[in-house]
Amino acid sequence: MLSAFARAFQTPDLRKKLLFTLGIMVLFRLGAHVPMPGINFQAVHACVNGQKEGLFGLVNLFSGNALLQLTIFALGIMPYITASIILQLLTVVIPRLEALKKEGQSGQAKITQYTRYLTIALAVLQGTGILATASSGALFSGCPEGGNIVPDQSIFRIATMVIIMTAGTTVIMWLGELITDRGIGNGMSILIFTSIAAGFPGSMWAIKESGKLLDGWGEFASVIAVGIIVVCLVIFVEQAQRRIPVQYAKRMVGRRSFGGTSTYIPLKVNQAGVIPVIFASSLLYIPALVVQLTNSQADWAIWIKNHFVKGDHPVYMATYFVLIVFFAFFYVAISFNPEEVADNMKKYGGFIPGIRAGRPTAEYLNYVLTRITWPGSLYLGLIALIPMVALVAFGQQTNFPFGGTSVLIVVGVGLETVKQIESQLQQRNYEGFLR
């Protein structure tokens, strides 16, 4: 594999793409440490410890810990992810967007432009909300310095900081598109990968420092062993797919024969990816956010604080697991349309051996998709619960890096990037990564 990396760097155009991508990743990480004007960083550093998996843990994860440090890249890539998910959901509901999706590359370019506009709007909204939370002292729960993070709370100062945070998100979006166009592809995914992977070394060392067994090395080795098992499981499931064979009949057009080929429809076990985990996490943040902002002492608020804020209660875990399973089925239902696939197959003379074309094909695809979505959704739920189990087993939920959204994204993006480099090596008659 190392020799394959060497051959990749020996190819001039591929070496240029890899170096360009690495340069953008370094620039992205530098921006995550540039301080934002108007913030009391002494108060931020006094409050930042122990807050990585708090109320804004998901946004902080995608920003590479820039959110809780309130830098110019504090919002990270999260507004773009949210905008992309919203546009994907609206495509099913709004006929205009569905028509654009069917237009091919030109329609996809318009949808991408809409995603950019929505990203800026969401960045303004999220930036305002986060600054308001930081100004009230609710961003860092239980910190005495929390109310002194934004000393100057004038409208002009707050508006300036919102503009800076929005501009930071726009720059990140631009960097991701540069990687897609001039790098090795999947720019946004690579930036998310960079944000998450940047926190792994610090998290592992924090586990060692806070451990008690063999001066912390016992917990360190245990977490490494669990991480290897989790990564192997994620790779196995992410690569698993059910291939539906498809046969195309021969057609005569004039004197030429078309069709007669065999192919397959790849249905992944984890068809929904990491989207159900993001949906479930975001939905469960809402009750805790309402209680934290209102500071209510009513019975319902106390119940939410006891069951949902810390994230280690069995009620929270069960609700989280059920929501992930539900959103897995929901997202698969809106992203894969068996009727549309069956109609396209029938239009071009394709059929599944042993299954009649048309409605029986759609019913068969729906049956298979439902059967394989069950293990995929249960797998997502179990992977997402690993950090919560780590809190009970090791007391390390804050620093535990191998679980939930982080490993799913890191492994998924890593596999996709390796495949892209592999395909480019094969195009140049090199042996590639896999032998």
Amino acid in position 415: L
Question: What band does 187 get if pLDDT is binned at 50, 70 and 90?
Answer: confident
CB 64 within 8 A of CB 199: yes
Q: Do domains 1-199 and 240-400 have the same CATH topology?
A: yes
Average pLDDT over residues 285-301: 72
The proportion of the chain whose per-residue pLDDT surpasses 70, expressed as a percent, equals 77
Q: Which CATH superfamily is domain 240-400 in?
A: SecY subunit domain (1.10.3370.10)
Specify which residues 247 forms β-bridges with. Answer: 262, 351
The proportion of the chain whose per-residue pLDDT surpasses 90, expressed as a percent, equals 5
56 pLDDT above the threshold of 60? no
pLDDT at 52: 46
Q: Alpha helix (H) ranges present in 311-358?
A: 314-335, 338-347
CATH of segment(s) 1-199: 1.10.3370.10
pLDDT at 429: 59
Question: What band does 170 get if pLDDT is binned at 50, 70 and 90?
Answer: very high
pLDDT at 67: 67
Average pLDDT over residues 115-137: 84
222 pLDDT above the threshold of 80? no
Cβ neighbour number for residue 67 with a 10 Å cutoff: 28
When mean pLDDT is compared across 40-49, 319-328, 417-426, the lowest value belongs to 40-49
**What is the pTM assigned to this prediction?**
0.76
255 pLDDT above the threshold of 70? no
Q: Domains of the chain: which residue ranges?
A: 1-199, 240-400
Q: Is 215 left (phi over 0), alpha (psi -120 to 50) or beta?
A: left
For residues 148, 152, 155, 161, the Cα torsion angle rounded to the nearest 10 degrees is -80
pLDDT at 251: 65
